[in-house]
Chain A
C-alpha cells in the first residue's frame, strides 16, 4: 500500500488556550490545547499543527508548557509555528517535545534561517509556511499560471496576510526547497476562512514544482474539499481547523469519506 494522505487538524493557540476566530474577529476560546490534542489523536488525526497566534518573547514560557503538555499526552507527530525566527526559538519548542517547527515571515525576510534550521535539526524538522494570494496584475518575471479565472500569479504575503511582498510563491517554494525546507504548509489567503474549498490551482502549482511534501491549508468547509485538494490539488496532506473544532465533521467521518472515495488513508 502506498504512503497515506494525512489529515491534520490545526489549533490556533493564544495565551495557552485554543481559540477560534469567527470571520477573523472575536476570538472565541475553544478549549485546552492538551485536551484537544488528545481528542484529535484518539479520533485518528494523522498529525497536528499548533500555531501560536500571538507569539512573543514574554509568552515563550506559556508556549513551552503547552508543547510539553501536548508531547506527553499524544504519540503522533506535531508541528509548532508562530513567531519562530531563529535556531534558539526552534530549539525551545523542539526540546519541549515538538517534532517540527514552521517558519513563515521570518523565512521570507531572512531565507538563510531555513538552512540554519535544517543544518542543526535536519530538514525533516523544517516546515516552511507560505501564505499566498492571487494577483491578476501581469508582472515581469512571475510564473503566470493558467487558472479557471485566467492567467495570474501567486504572491507571497507575510504578517498573517497583512503585507504583500511582491515575491512569487512558486519561485519562493523552489528557492526554499533548495535552502533546506523539508515540507511546505501552503495557505491560500483568498480561501482562508471562506469554507468554500482549498485553492486547488495554487496547491497543485507548488506541489508540481517541489519534491518535498505539501500540506494544503485554507478553505475547508466539507469533506469533499479535502478530497479535491488531495487528488486534483496533488497535496500530500490536508489541514483544517473549524470543520473539526465544532464537531461538524469529526476526523473519523472525514477519513471514512476519503477512504470510500478511494484515497489512501490510515485506518
Chain B
C-alpha cells in the first residue's frame, strides 16, 4: 500500500487526517524529518498551527520537499498547509514554501472570524480531485486567513464568506484545500480518495 507521510509542525490533531487518509486507501504515518519525507509516496501538509511556527519547522525540509515535488510525488496541503504553498501571510512573519506567487490575507471584519463551519464549493475549473463532487457541495472550514494566488489558473474552487476566496488549488501534482477534507464527512473522504488515485497511478 502506498505510504503517505503527514508532516508534523508539532501541535494539534493529526490523528483525524491519518485516519481519513487510511480510510481513503493509503497507509499513513507522521513524519518530522527530511528522511521521513524521502520515503513518502505522497506528502500531506496538515492544517494546524500558526504560519510563523510552521514556516520555521519547514525550513529543515524545504529542499527535500522541492525535490519530491519535482519527482512527481503528490503533495496535499490542507488549510495552513495550503497557505504555506505561497510566499507570505498576514498572520505573521516567516517565509512560505513559495511554490506559487501570492500571499495569505485576513478574512474581512464584516463577518465572524474564524470562518467556522460548513460552506459550499463553487467549481472554477474541473479537476480530478473533485471527480464526483457537485457544485455547491458543503465542506468544513476553520480558518481566519485565505490564500490569494497571483496565477488564477491554479484556482480550482472558490467559496463565499465576506469575500470570494480561493478554497482549493491544483497545479500538476500539487493539491491544496482551504477546507478540511478529513472533517468533511463522506464528501471529504471522497475527495481524499480522488487524491489517492493520483498517488497510485
Question: Which residues from chain A sit less than 8 Å from chain B, CB to CB?
Answer: 1-6, 41, 46-47, 68, 71-72, 75-77, 94-99, 120-125, 182-183, 211-213, 236-237, 266-267
Interchain CA distance A236-B142 in the complex, whole Å: 14
Smallest beta-carbon distance B50→chain A, Å = 7
Interchain CA distance A1-B11 in the complex, whole Å: 33
Q: Which residues of A contact B185 (CB under 8 A)?
A: 41, 75-76
Quick check: is B60 within 8 A (CB to CB) of the other chain?
A: no
Q: Which residues of A contact B49 (CB under 8 A)?
A: 122
Of B33-41, B109-117, B124-132, which stretch is located at the interface?
Answer: B109-117
Which of A75, A98, A211 meets B112, CB within 8 Å?
Answer: A211
Q: Interface SS of chain A: helix, strand, loop or mixed?
A: loop
Q: Which residues of B contact A212 (CB under 8 A)?
A: 112-114
Q: Which residues of B contact A267 (CB under 8 A)?
A: 138
A236, B189: Cβ atoms closer than 8 Å: no
Residue in A closest to B182 when the chains form the complex, CB atoms: A75
Interchain CA distance A75-B187 in the complex, whole Å: 10
Quick check: is B104 within 8 A (CB to CB) of the other chain?
A: no
B138, A122: Cβ atoms closer than 8 Å: no
Given contacts A75-B16, A75-B183, contact A124 B116 (CB under 8 A): yes
A125, B12: Cβ atoms closer than 8 Å: yes
Per the 8 Å Cβ criterion, residues 133-173 of B in contact with A are 136, 138, 140-144, 160-161
Interchain CA distance A3-B143 in the complex, whole Å: 13
Residue in A closest to B142 when the chains form the complex, CB atoms: A124
| 10 closest cross-chain pairs (CB), A and B | A97-B15, A266-B138, A266-B118, A4-B118, A1-B120, A124-B142, A124-B114, A3-B119, A77-B183, A213-B116
Q: Which residues of A contact B11 (CB under 8 A)?
A: 120-122
Q: Which residues of A contact B140 (CB under 8 A)?
A: 76-77
Quick check: is B48 within 8 A (CB to CB) of the other chain?
A: yes
Q: Interface SS of chain B: helix, strand, loop or mixed?
A: mixed
Given contacts A75-B20, A77-B183, A99-B183, contact A4 B113 (CB under 8 A): no
Q: Which residues of B contact A236 (CB under 8 A)?
A: 112, 116-117
Quick check: is B13 within 8 A (CB to CB) of the other chain?
A: yes
Given contacts A1-B136, A1-B160, A76-B185, contact A96 B114 (CB under 8 A): no
Per the 8 Å Cβ criterion, residues 93-111 of B in contact with A are 109
20 extra A-B contacts, CB within 8 A, seeds A97-B13, A97-B16: A1-B120, A1-B160, A4-B119, A46-B118, A71-B15, A75-B16, A75-B23, A75-B184, A75-B186, A75-B189, A76-B183, A95-B13, A96-B15, A98-B13, A99-B183, A123-B114, A124-B143, A125-B48, A236-B112, A267-B138
Quick check: is B188 within 8 A (CB to CB) of the other chain?
A: yes
Interface residues on B, range: 35 or more
Quick check: is B3 within 8 A (CB to CB) of the other chain?
A: no
Interchain CA distance A97-B30 in the complex, whole Å: 14
A75, B188: Cβ atoms closer than 8 Å: yes
Interchain CA distance A166-B5 in the complex, whole Å: 51
Q: Which residues of A contact B160 (CB under 8 A)?
A: 1-2
Q: Which residues of B contact A98 (CB under 8 A)?
A: 13
B136, B140, B184, B189 — which one has the most chain A CB atoms within 10 A of its CB?
Answer: B140
B143, A237: Cβ atoms closer than 8 Å: no
Q: Which residues of A contact B138 (CB under 8 A)?
A: 4, 266-267
Quick check: is B19 within 8 A (CB to CB) of the other chain?
A: yes
Interchain CA distance A75-B24 in the complex, whole Å: 12
Residue in B closest to A97 when the chains form the complex, CB atoms: B15
A4, B183: Cβ atoms closer than 8 Å: no
